[in-house]
Amino acid sequence: MSGILPLQFRVGYTEDKNKAPKKTVPASVPGNAQRDWAIAENYPDHNFGDNFKMFGWMEDVYWVYSASITKNPAKEGERIYFVSKGIDYEFELLLDGRMILHQEGMFTPVHLDITDAPGKESDSVLEIIIYPAPKSKSASKGTNNEPDESVKPAVSYGWDWHPRLIPSGLYEECYLETKPAFHIRDAEARYELSNDLSFADITLEAQLKNPDEIPGKCKLKWELFDKNGDLALQHDFGCACCGISPQGDQKAQLRFDNPELWWPNGHGEQVLYKSVFTLSDPDGNVIDFKESRIGFRRCKLVRNPGAVDKGFPMSCDLPPITMEINNRRIFCKGSNWVEPEIFTGTITKQSYEPLVKLAKEAHFNMFRAWGGCMVSKEPFFDLCDEYGIMVWREFPLACNNYKDDPKYLDTLNRESVSIIKRVRRHACLALWCGGNELFNGWSGMDDQSHALRLLNANCYEHDRQTPFLPTSPIAGMGHGCYVFRYDNEHFMSQRLAGNPDYAAGYDCLTAMTDAGKTAYTEFGNPSAADAELLKSIIPEEELFPPKAGGAWLAHHGFKAWAGSNSWLYPEVAEYYFGKPENLGELVAYTQMLQCVGYKGIFEEARRQWKKCSMALNWCYNEPWPTAAGNNLISYPAKPKPAYYAVQKSCRQQMASARVKKFDFESGENFEAELFVLNDLPEKIAPCEIKATLESAAKTYFICAWQAKETPPSEHQRSASYSVKLDEPENCLMRLKLEVSGNPEMDSEYLFICKNKNSTKKILPESLV
């Protein structure tokens, strides 16, 4: 059987690849060279202030890892392999000074037979030379366009929520492994579910290594165990008496009747089977085995009803973006996932699990795993398999124009095939996607881009049962809104387009009600982080009032995105509540707006079902503590109040109100339409929904809507109801929907009413 031999690495840097580092320090593996160096040199916390800038010089040096290998680690008849799931990014592998591998790309595993490498009679030195961070010559220096000729994730080159800090190195485990010469190189059980879900056609495929060294009549069997651990199906390869013929691929086709299905969160159980290939020698001893899990589900993208083209000249219906799992159309509720640490080497199952668990608790069923970040490590997908979170997985392309360059395409080809072959085994994988915003003006790619045609072709060849999108958004889908209120020049496109409703500025509730997209795969509402977190990253003297410099700037409070005040936007808080007088008020104002905005957008997207089929906000989590941003969860895994507001908005069955804006003036009509939202394949009984609007001064009766039975996976909409507002003072108003006999479906919303003659300050309230 196999044996793992750990390696003890040290790391140092050099500016000349041919010269050894002057100094080395202990390396964490998995880990990142930059972090190892910082720890050894006592750098201050990279999360505080603008300390991350101290890492800037590390981008352009070679990092050299070295470890010694004791002589003869392999026994007679064994082989010894150098193994890693990936090394970030371009590197050379040297054994006793001789290069045995040069690879560009962090997603292609390394599995190298070094049994016969020179030096095996004495101790050897293994070195891994990591190249400087890839930067294209045509890109502006210091921008996140620099990785546009590589498959290096762009985010660490700086983003509006990620500082410029580029990790590299042995971010996955690296070790030596001893194996019997004859063993399983790779084995996989794949399946295709029948249209009616009544059976799965299973394809087994295994490759055996060193077939010439087979130790007599060996046997290879495959077993499928159900969720209780009982054997559900099995197959013996080769001949019952002679065993297997070791040459060539071992293949088999089996039919498995009535598989228990895997369902996304909220729609059923996440049933996972276990698939085991076992290779045994003539005495029946196990030589090698491969184990993985299978969740049976059928995954398609189908057309969104109502997204059709009419009239001449006629274009075409909008592309499908409704996820159909096991023949059930599912509204995708969720968020954009980013890797939870800047230092990717430190990410473990423990980094992922609280976040995935919170997603399940928020009634989410999908993560869009965004293409600016690396493809997550295996535990992420394992957890999503278990918690029922579908994963929309993007390749590492984002916001750049990745050109039709043969060298780049070679790397992308190799890396993408490695990614597909690793991730396709997971039940949670629901969608492949080329990358982020590649068809938008700032990227400039399109359907003709060779990189995207290549990715489509590779996904088709290696995993055709999973849908593929070239990018997000494609035609009909939308990214945005990203702010609560659209007042400043940057957002005047609607106003400029002549829509009079937007003439005086508008909020995200208005914009989303009018949007009519097929899927909202990014939208956001910013808020400041909690005061406690702010104090941990911003020097006390800078805390209040916030300024566009120092730690507020470094942590994306200002000049992060469009306009100089993103993501804090203090003027938006001031517009509604007046000038915040202290940090506590600022945090409370922006966090209440974030709650209102997110609640409004998530529910509005759901109200637009079935034409609209997805609501995935930007973004879920963050890899370091931002001072302000659109995230629902602060680093490392602390929910903001908006998380709980969204959690309420994502209940599978609930009452919901469409109100087209947030702020009113006394004398205006307050209009609301009510909905019963039903994401479950079960009907909701007829009910009465009473709607009242409570202000400081009074309670308005809006309606008592007699909702009929709501069919499975459908919504129901009321007429529009209206009351005239009459408020003597500026105030908050709370809209309450009460559902007869179903209080768990009740909902609440907050609005503002102003009276021109009032100077009364409005104080935020909680929506949770």
Pairwise CA distance, residues 390 & 678, whole Å: 19
CB of 368 vs a second copy, minimal distance in Å = 15
Write down the least CB distance from residue 416 to a second copy, Å: 13
Q: Is residue 313 part of the contact set for a second copy (CB under 8 A)?
A: yes
Measured from the CB atom, is 32 or 449 closer to a second copy? 449
Which DSSP category does 436 fall into? Answer: B
Q: Which is nearer to a second copy, 392 or 468 (CB)?
A: 468
Would residue 107 be called left, alpha or beta, if left means φ above 0 and alpha means ψ between -120 and 50 degrees?
alpha
Count of residues in contact with a second copy, rule CB under 8 A:
58
Among 32, 51, 471, 565, binds a second copy (CB under 8 A): 471
Task: Report the candidate in 603, 309, 325 with the shortest Cα–Cα distance to residue 476.
Answer: 309
Q: CB under 8 Å to 599, separation ≥6 — which residues?
A: 645, 646, 648, 649, 749, 767
List all residues 6 or more positions away from 108 whose beta carbon is below 8 Å from its beta carbon.
Answer: 86, 414, 415, 418
Q: Is 136 in the site for a second copy (CB under 8 A)?
A: no
Interaction between residue 413 and a second copy (CB under 8 A) = no
User: What are the two backbone dihedrals, phi and then psi, of residue 480, each rounded to the nearest 5 degrees?
Assistant: 110, 170
Q: Does 233 bind a second copy (CB under 8 A)?
A: no
Interface pick for a second copy out of 160, 173, 205, 317 (rule CB under 8 A)? 317
Note whether 138 binds a second copy by CB under 8 A.
no
| CA R_g for the chain | 28
Beta carbon of residue 323, minimum distance to a second copy (angstroms, whole number): 11
Does residue 261 touch a second copy according to CB under 8 A? no
- Of the candidates 263, 184, 246, 161, the one whose C-alpha atom is nearest the C-alpha of residue 1 is 184
Find out whether 673 and 725 touch, Cβ atoms under 8 Å. no
How many C-beta neighbours within 10 Å does residue 8 have?
10
Q: Which is nearer to a second copy, 597 or 625 (CB)?
A: 597
* CB-nearer residue toward a second copy: 9 or 520: 520
Q: Of 301 and 737, which CB lies nearer to a second copy in the complex structure?
A: 301
* Residue 410 lies near a second copy (rule: CB under 8 A): no
Q: Does 320 bind a second copy (CB under 8 A)?
A: yes
Taking CB under 8 A as the binding criterion, the range among 282-290, 327-335, 390-398, 432-440 that sits at the site for a second copy is: 432-440
Question: Rounded to an integer, what distance in angstroms lies between the CA atom of residue 676 and that of residue 674?
Answer: 7
User: Pick from 231, 475, 548, 685: which binds a second copy (CB under 8 A)?
Assistant: 475
Q: CB of residue 308 vs a second copy: minimum separation in angstroms? A: 6
Query: Which amino acid would we find at residue 577?
Result: F
We find the least distance from the C-beta atom of residue 495 to a second copy, in angstroms, to be 9
Residue 590, H or E segment: helix 583-607
Is the bond leading into 728 cis (omega within 30 degrees of zero)? no
The closest alpha carbon to 47, from 653, 496, 635, 543, belongs to: 635
Q: Where are the beta strands (DSSP E) in 131-285?
A: 174-180, 183-193, 199-209, 219-225, 231-236, 250-257, 273-280
Task: Count the alpha carbons within 13 Å of 565 in the hemisphere toward its beta carbon.
Answer: 19
* Shortest distance (Å) from residue 601 CB to a second copy: 9
Q: Which of 440, 536, 692, 758 binds a second copy (CB under 8 A)?
A: 440
Count other C-beta atoms under 10 Å from residue 675's C-beta: 25
CB of 170 to a second copy, least distance (A): 34
Q: What 8-state DSSP symbol labels residue 4?
A: E
Q: At what angle do helices 406-423 and 450-463 cross, to 10 degrees?
A: 30
Selected binder of a second copy within 478, 526, 546, 764 (CB under 8 A): 478
> Interface mask (CB under 8 A) for a second copy, residues 492-511, using x and -?
-xx--x-------------x
Q: Give the shortest CB-161-to-a second copy separation in angstroms.
A: 18
Segment 518-557, which members bind a second copy (CB under 8 A)? 520, 523
Provide the Cα torsion 357, 361, 367, 369; round to 10°: -30
Shortest Å distance, C-beta 171 to a second copy:
31
Contact between 618 and 599 (Cβ < 8 Å): no
CB of 339 to a second copy, least distance (A): 25
Q: Which stretch binds a second copy (CB under 8 A): 74-82, 109-117, 124-132, 444-452?
A: 444-452
Residue 457 vs 763, nearer CB to a second copy: 457
Site for a second copy in 286-305 (CB under 8 A): 300-301, 303
Q: What's at 166, amino acid-wise?
A: I
If one asks whether residue 216 binds a second copy (CB under 8 A), the answer comes out as no
Edge-to-edge strands of the sheet including 124-130? 25-26, 10-14, 62-69, 124-130, 90-95, 98-104
Smallest separation, CB 317 to a second copy (Å): 6
Collapsing DSSP states into helix, strand and coil, what is residue 567? coil
Nearer to a second copy, 292 or 440 (CB): 440
**Nearest residue to 619 via CA among 300, 459, 398, 303:** 398
Give the residue, chosen from 111, 293, 414, 450, that forms a contact with a second copy under the rule CB under 8 A.
450
Q: Which of 166, 338, 454, 676 binds a second copy (CB under 8 A)?
A: 454
310 binds a second copy (CB under 8 A): yes
Residue 377 falls in which region: left (phi positive, over 0), alpha (psi -120 to 50) or beta: beta
Contacts with a second copy by CB under 8 A lie at 300-301, 303, 308-320, 437, 439-441, 444, 446-448, 450, 453-454, 456-457, 460-461, 464, 467-471, 473-482, 486, 491, 493-494, 497, 511-512, 515, 517, 520, 523
